[in-house]
Homo-oligomer: A and B are copies of this chain.
Amino acid sequence: MVLTIYGFALTAGTRRITLVCKELNIPYEFVVVDLAAGEQKTPAYLQKQPFGQVPAIDDDGFKLYESRAIGRYLAAKAGSPLLPHSDPKKFGEFEVAASIEYSNFEPFASKIAHEKIYKPLQGLATDEAVVAERLAALTTKLETYEVILGKQKYLAGDEITLADLFHLPYGSALVQVGFDVFSTPNLKRWWNDISSRPSWQAVKDSA
Contact = CB atoms under 8 A, between A and B. Distances in A.
29 contacts: A50-B144, A50-B147, A51-B100, A51-B104, A51-B141, A62-B89, A62-B92, A64-B96, A65-B96, A67-B99, A68-B95, A69-B92, A69-B95, A69-B96, A69-B98, A69-B99, A72-B91, A72-B92, A72-B95, A73-B88, A73-B89, A73-B91, A76-B88, A76-B92, A77-B88, A85-B85, A102-B102, A102-B103, A107-B107
B92 A64 contact: yes
A23 interface: no
A128 to B, nearest CB: 20
A100 B69 CA distance: 9
A28 to B, nearest CB: 16
Interface residues of A, number: 33
A107 B107 CA distance: 9
A180 interface: no
A72 B67 CA distance: 19
A93 interface: yes
A66 interface: yes
A64 to B, nearest CB: 5
Contacts of A148: 50
Contacts of A93: 64
Contacts of A95: 66, 68-69, 72-73
A51 B108 CA distance: 15
Contacts of A147: 50
Given A51-B104, A69-B99, 14 more contacts: A50-B144, A51-B100, A65-B96, A66-B95, A66-B96, A66-B99, A66-B100, A69-B95, A70-B92, A72-B91, A72-B92, A73-B95, A76-B88, A77-B88
